[in-house]
A and B are shown apart, each in its own frame.
Chain A
């Protein structure tokens, strides 16, 4: 459980809030590079940490991220003309470059020199891994980009999608690190009931997760604090002399990586606050060694796993609250726990059902919620430390993000951090 004060500290990220200051120490994914594909293309609206912003790619290909509203009369620059290295407000013609400098002020006499005194809010951006990243913090503390493996593989080796979620970012992270929900929310009815046919099917399966989740329903949780955040290790009994381990990564401030079996593609998320009641869910799938396979692409296309199809402008998933996420009650009776297609929609349905900001003073946690407790406590410690003037270490050390999630069998005598050390290293 959390106090109301702690819940507010964790979930509020608008300018001036402690949590908002903390997030403003990191580079954050802001938009897909493909949303501003060419020089002088149309500008797009972005909401980030409670700030309404406009992104545009100028004539030289630089990406600007500026306050949505023109400092003159507060008209939206979304209607602006992206022309000749600047975004021009179509109300009175004021024009701004990617640094926020006013470069033309046609409705004021030039002898006043008014334009040299005017700036709009503008934030630095970087293009990395097919995304435009933004930094909304103090100009003298620009951090390093996180050296995330998915962002450094060739474009053919990864797929990144973006979707809008109607909850606070923390609820979404908590879903990402809560490994115990997978056996229920994402299960088939056969797996949940442990039918004979299901047992036969998984016994011969090369899918270690399916096999060992079935054999041990009471896993043991371990969390380790790291330079980048947390590694959350879940242990299940496997064979007589082995344990099956699954290691989830939580990387500050809001990245996660799903455990994967060696040789399979890896998946992860970054959950970025748009405001206190909505977030942007970034989902990445990547193969460090080869282009994504046709099977990977089919999984993405069919939305069976972590990606979801979205409306092209709003990035709202096609399966959403307004259509009950396409729930099929017959499917729920006969085949899957939810009757909702795809892990992404299943997660979103349940997380949004909790309300935009869940009241954590009213929850009833148990020892299977250890990972959630650890992530909250770590974020609270980081926020408190920043309040006392201690800058977040991970933000300034991009190299610490050079890790992977993994799953494997280990001899019972071997500690997971020793046994999985090599597998948890990124390799690109």
Chain B
């Protein structure tokens, strides 16, 4: 995993690998621009899970996705509040 808080993690899915990558970047983010990138990544996770929940009502793991959607929202707001370490912990609790 290439760790650099000044790089945006590509979020094309909400796999464990993607979440671990975002968490690792949250843990080393300090500056304004780092937090903006983390917020964008969490926005993307929240958006993708939101679309899945909306469009695929019979999904087998729907409960898990709904939980991730909720957790991503919480983590997003913590990053917005400049608390990336807490955001990382919240997201890690989902794994």
Q: Report which A residues bind B (CB closer than 8 A).
A: 1, 3, 6, 220-225, 364-367, 369-370, 373-374, 377-378
Contacts and interface: CB of A to CB of B under 8 A. Distances in A.
Contacts of B6: 222
A367 B36 contact: no
A365 B73 CA distance: 12
Given A364-B51, A365-B44, A367-B41, A373 B10 contact: no
A221 B41 CA distance: 12
A1 B43 contact: yes
B43 A369 contact: yes
A369 B42 CA distance: 12
Contacts of B80: 6, 377
Interface string B24-50: 000000011101110111011011001
B33 A222 contact: yes
Nearest to A224: B33
Residue of B9, B47, B73 with most partner-chain A CB within 10 A? B47
Question: What's the interface size class on B, roughly?
Answer: 20 to 34
Interface centre among A3, A6, A366 (most CB of B within 10 A): A366
Interface string B1-18: 000001011110000000
Contact of A370 (B10, B40, B50): B40
Contact of B8 (A3, A224, A370): A370
Contacts of B47: 364-366
Contacts of A1: 43, 46, 73, 76
B77 A3 contact: yes
A373 B40 CA distance: 7
Contacts of B9: 367
Nearest to B31: A225
Contact of A366 (B31, B35, B37, B40): B40
A377 B40 CA distance: 11
Contacts of A3: 77
Contacts of B33: 222-225, 374
Contact of B35 (A6, A221, A377): A377
B11 A367 contact: yes
Closest 5 CB pairs of A and B: A364-B47, A365-B43, A374-B36, A366-B44, A225-B32
Contacts of A367: 8-11, 37, 40-41, 43-44
B43 A221 contact: no
B29 to A, nearest CB: 13
B11 to A, nearest CB: 6
Nearest to B46: A1
B7 to A, nearest CB: 8
29 contacts: A1-B73, A1-B76, A3-B77, A221-B8, A222-B6, A222-B33, A223-B36, A225-B32, A364-B43, A364-B50, A364-B51, A365-B40, A365-B43, A365-B44, A366-B11, A366-B40, A366-B43, A366-B44, A367-B9, A370-B8, A370-B36, A370-B37, A373-B36, A373-B39, A374-B32, A374-B33, A374-B36, A377-B32, A377-B35
B31 to A, nearest CB: 8
A366 B37 CA distance: 10
Q: Which of A1, A3, A365 has the most CB of B within 10 A?
A: A1
Contacts of A378: 32
Given A223-B33, A367-B37, A378-B32, 9 more contacts: A1-B43, A1-B46, A225-B32, A364-B50, A367-B10, A367-B44, A370-B36, A370-B37, A373-B43
B56 to A, nearest CB: 15
A412 to B, nearest CB: 15
Contacts of B73: 1
B40 to A, nearest CB: 5
